[in-house]
């Protein structure tokens, strides 16, 4: 399941054709793009990376890590209470993931501070997208959502674009 700290093995149906990567002009394995969005003075930045060593394209298994940095640009501490992810693969199949905190933590982020974590997402297709939101609570008791920007999960086996 994407959005968790584990990379579960998905059950796949074997396909007879072997997949080959796109020519070298394709995107690099380590995506240099940082996706960012700010909501209510909380900046969320995401950097995805394709994990070739954990992927098996011949078995329709493509795995990414993504590193999220959450920065509090506001005047008071905030706590991340829960997460929501919407993951869409290249066929348009959508999966929603909800849960408390991130990677087993519900961090309190002081003004001017950052919290960073890395998690992962396996898909059955060579590309996809993720986006979501964090449920946050300020020290003064205000509950709000910090948006996670839509970001691409790209592999050397397929290229996608956000329109």
For the segment 56-113, what is each residue's pLDDT rounded down to a tens digit?
A: 999 999 999 999 999 999 999 999 999 999 999 999 999 999 999 999 999 999 999 9
* Pick from 132, 152, 46: nearest CA to 85: 132
**Average pLDDT taken over every residue of the chain:** 84
Q: What H or E segment, with its residue span, contains residue 148?
A: strand 143-154
Domain 35-154 has CATH 3.30.565.10: no
For strand 62-72 and strand 94-100, is the pairing parallel, antiparallel, or unpaired? Answer: unpaired
Query: What is the pTM (predicted TM-score) of this model?
Result: 0.80
Return the beta strands (E) in 18-142 as ranges: 35-39, 42-50, 62-72, 78-89, 94-100, 108-109, 114-123, 127-138
Domain limits of the chain?
35-154
10: pLDDT confidence band, cut at 50, 70 and 90?
very low
What's the pLDDT tens digit per position in 137-149? 999 999 999 999 9
21: pLDDT confidence band, cut at 50, 70 and 90?
very low
124: pLDDT confidence band, cut at 50, 70 and 90?
very high
pLDDT of the residue at 33: 84
d(Cα 114, Cα 12) in Å, to the nearest integer?
38
**What residues contact 108, with CB distance under 8 A and at least 6 apart?**
77, 78, 79
């Amino acid at each position: 399941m994407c959005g968790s700290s584990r990379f579960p093995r998905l059950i796949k149906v074997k396909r007879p054709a072997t997949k080959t990567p796109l020519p070298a002009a394709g995107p690099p394995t380590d995506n240099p793009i940082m996706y960012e969005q700010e909501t209510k003075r909380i900046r969320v930045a995401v950097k995805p990376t394709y994990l070739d060593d954990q992927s098996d394209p011949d078995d329709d298994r493509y795995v990414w890590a993504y590193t999220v940095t959450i920065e509090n640009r506001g005047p008071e501490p905030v706590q991340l209470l829960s997460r929501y992810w919407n993951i869409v693969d290249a066929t348009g199949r959508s999966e929603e993931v909800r849960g408390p905190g991130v990677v087993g933590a519900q961090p309190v982020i002081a003004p001017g501070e950052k919290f960073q974590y890395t998690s992962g997402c396996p898909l059955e297709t060579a590309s996809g997208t993720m986006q979501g939101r964090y449920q946050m609570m300020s020290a003064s008791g205000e509950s709000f959502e910090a948006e996670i920007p839509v970001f691409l999960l790209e592999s050397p086996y397929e290229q996608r674009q956000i329109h």
